[in-house]
Amino acid sequence: MLNKPRIGVIGIPGKWSTEVLADRLEERTGFRAVIDMSQVELRLDTQQLMYQGLDLMTLDGLIIKKISETYSPATEDRIHLLSYAERAGVKLFSPTHSVGNLVNRLSGTLALQQGNIPMPKTRITESAEQAFATVREFGSAILKPLYSTKARGMIILTPADSDEVVRDALEKYRHTQSIYYIQQTVELDGRDLGMVFIGGEYLCTYARVGNKDAWNTTINSGGKYELFEPDADLIELGRRAQSCYDLSFTTVDIALTNQGPVVFEVSAFGGFKGALEGCNIDAASAYATYVLQSCGLSEGTQP
């Protein structure tokens, strides 16, 4: 008798993006497992990676949809646990080395820079004085935490801010950060783009249109999704950016500026809601199909 494939979803139980991906896999295979990494136990003595009685080492694959609610150095510990299963032959989507590079903003930025991807002007230093000088040189600047998503923890500084305000902001930032990551702001037209790729292949692009009362365009700050039709050059920029990593599913954040397009970042995981609401595409379904095909499995049986 042929066995049905078993693919687990690493995510946040109850969250829409996690659950919809598990739904799409269950529709195809009959198997469903949503795995909360805070409850996983690595048993080195028995070579098991356990979650609520399920040994993840016995699965055909694991999709890392969301490894933690918020990013932190502890997130990297979870990646190490998953790499144990990966080294034993369980397929990981995306590979743990790629996810690890992107969880930390600095390592992710360096990969883009080495790939000659256009980015906003960026400086990194441990020196408070160097950071102050950089903020003043940039005029408008954003202090970005090394571990964050959806603009959480970012501090924007403008030429109108006094020296005292800037220094206070730098001090506040350093309470939680080991190094200053400073990026010059770019002029947006009220939107930025999310370009979606599955297995390195282009799927669609949506725009995040900002709330006029917020400085960023994130949905958390009142933004909304709209369809965007990029030209071939812009798609190629997104393709080059995501190719700096080895990602199974990702969203490339791109801004259109008067200096040309720039890449803000490449997501370690990427979301499904922008593709659904902006492009009317079920990216979770497309991703589930890609994962099953990558495992050499048909939708419901395996050799």
Which pLDDT score, from 0 to 100, does residue 103 have?
A: 85
Quote the strand ranges of 98-244, DSSP E: 122-125, 141-143, 155-157, 180-184, 191-198, 201-209, 224-227
What is the band of 211 on the pLDDT scale with cuts at 50, 70, 90? low
| pTM recorded for the entire structure | 0.88
> What is the torsional sign of CA 63, 66, 72, 75?
negative
| Helix, coil or strand: residue 246 | coil
- Per cent of the chain over pLDDT 70 is 91
| Helix, coil or strand: residue 12 | coil
Assign domain 122-184 to its CATH superfamily. Answer: ATP-grasp fold, A domain (3.30.1490.20)
pLDDT of 71 over the 80 cut: no
Backbone angles phi, psi at 183, to 5 degrees: -125, 135
Here the tokens at position 293 are 């095909």
What is the band of 303 on the pLDDT scale with cuts at 50, 70, 90? very low
CA distance 116 to 149: 23
Pairing of strands 91-93, 61-64: parallel
My answer on whether omega of the bond before 94 falls inside 30° of 0, hence cis, is yes
Domain ranges of the chain: 7-102+286-294, 105-118+187-281, 122-184
CATH of 7-102+286-294, one of 3.40.50.20, 3.40.50.150, 1.10.3210.10, 3.40.47.10: 3.40.50.20
Taking only the tens place, the pLDDT of each residue in 77-118 is 999 999 999 999 999 999 999 998 888 889 999 999 999 999
Which pLDDT score, from 0 to 100, does residue 5 have?
A: 86
Q: Does 5 or 51 have the greater pLDDT score?
A: 51
pLDDT of 226 over the 80 cut: yes
CA distance 260 to 262: 7
Which pLDDT score, from 0 to 100, does residue 150 have?
A: 66
pLDDT of 178 over the 70 cut: yes
What is the band of 213 on the pLDDT scale with cuts at 50, 70, 90? low
Taking only the tens place, the pLDDT of each residue in 246-277 is 999 999 999 999 889 999 999 988 889 999 99
Question: For the range 36-43, what are the long-range contacts, defined as Cβ-Cβ under 8 Å and sequence gap of 24 or more?
Answer: 36/11, 36/12, 37/10, 37/67, 37/68, 37/78, 37/81, 37/82, 38/68, 40/78, 40/81, 42/81, 42/84
* Residue 224: Cβ within 10 Å count: 15
CA distance 289 to 284: 9
Q: Does 292 or 213 have the greater pLDDT score?
A: 292
Taking only the tens place, the pLDDT of each residue in 21-40 is 999 999 999 999 999 999 99
Which pLDDT score, from 0 to 100, does residue 223 have?
A: 74
Task: Tell me which fold the domain 105-118+187-281 belongs to.
Answer: D-amino Acid Aminotransferase; Chain A, domain 1 (3.30.470)
- Quote the mean pLDDT of the chain: 90
